Amino acid sequence: MASVPPPPIPPQLSHSDEPSSKKTRIETKTIPTTKHSQRQLHLAVAGCSHGEMDYIYSTLAKMERNRGYKFDLLICCGDYQALRNNADINTINVPHKHRKLGTFHQYYSGEKVAPILTIFIGGNHEATGFMAELPYGGWVAPNIYYLGFASVVQFAGLRMGGLSGIYKSADYNKNHFERPPFNNSSIISAYHVRSIDIFRLKLLETTKKPKCPMKMPLALKRQNSWH
Ligand SMILES: [Zn+2]
């Protein structure tokens, strides 16, 4: 669990009661909030974050200065790499040359505070041990929230679902059996999507298909609309 005390969930981000590097790609979307709202909502969406939180936040700060507004929310779509310390590097399934601590640990320790409320899902390059501690999601640092294997949150009138991991048919119908210490097999299967989580998301009445998959920035661009 995080050593920093998790901040209380602000009223604008809450769980639904229903079942539930520099190559980082960032896209933004401005959408009107509900008809009663007084202003638009400014969302930023990043693809693989790869532990480059400093780079992402500084890029967004520049965009804010250029555009004259503040982002309300940052959504990170997988490969977030919430590495708390050097020990966590041993729980991430990436080639040795890509094993870098990144900058998340500074936000975890409290040395820095995320300037924008951030939510993320897991991809296939994550701190598996840390993520396994939060199967249903939770605060990993002040202002940074992990959605867990699959869950739904509400923010400023938007309802957003997240599904972590990648699809692998051989593990799809298994349970989440992986526990630390991970071996060469379980450190990989731990991030494979499970049918139980798809089932939970399908129970959501207004959900036609799982939202916020790992490739969401591409989907957003293609569809040019927010669902
Ligand atoms: Zn990636």
Is residue 62 within 8 Å of residue 120, measured between CB atoms? Answer: no
Q: What are phi and psi of 71, to 5 degrees?
A: -75, 140
What amino acid occupies position 112?
K
Residue 83's pLDDT is 98
Within-domain flag for 8: no
Is residue 80 within 8 Å of residue 126, measured between CB atoms? Answer: yes
C-alpha to C-alpha distance for 125 and 188, rounded to whole angstroms? 9
Q: Which of 76, 75, 143 is nearest to 110 (CA)?
A: 143
Counting the structural domains of the chain, the total is 1
Listed residues: CB within 5 A of ion ligand 1 = 48, 79
Q: How many angstroms is it from 39 CA to the middle of ligand 1? A: 34
Q: How many angstroms is it from 50 CA to the middle of ligand 1? A: 6
Q: How many angstroms is it from 49 CA to the middle of ligand 1? A: 7
Q: How many angstroms is it from 3 CA to the middle of ligand 1? A: 27
C-alpha Rg value of the chain to the nearest Å? 17
Q: If you average pLDDT over residues 175-198, what whole number do you get?
A: 96
Secondary structure of 128-157 in the HEC alphabet? HHHHHCCCCCEEEECCEEECCCEEEEEECC
- Tell me the HSE value of 105 on the side-chain side, using a 13 A CA sphere: 11
The three-state secondary structure class of 163 is strand
Q: How many angstroms is it from 30 CA to the middle of ligand 1? A: 25
Q: How many angstroms is it from 167 CA to the middle of ligand 1? A: 15
Q: How many angstroms is it from 65 CA to the middle of ligand 1? A: 28
Residue 2's pLDDT is 43
- Is the previous residue joined to 181 through a cis bond, with omega within 30 degrees of 0? yes
* Whole-prediction pTM: 0.79
Calculate the average pLDDT of the chain. 84
Q: How many angstroms is it from 150 CA to the middle of ligand 1? A: 19
Within-domain flag for 42: yes
Q: 66 vs 25, which has greater pLDDT?
A: 66
Q: How many angstroms is it from 119 CA to the middle of ligand 1? A: 17
Within-domain flag for 47: yes
Domain extent, residue 117, equals: 13-223
Residue 105's pLDDT is 98
Within-domain flag for 7: no
C-alpha to C-alpha distance for 72 and 174, rounded to whole angstroms? 37
Q: How many angstroms is it from 89 CA to the middle of ligand 1? A: 15
Within-domain flag for 157: yes
Within-domain flag for 27: yes
Within-domain flag for 4: no
Is residue 22 within 8 Å of residue 55, measured between CB atoms? Answer: yes
What band does 216 get if pLDDT is binned at 50, 70 and 90? Answer: very low
Within-domain flag for 5: no
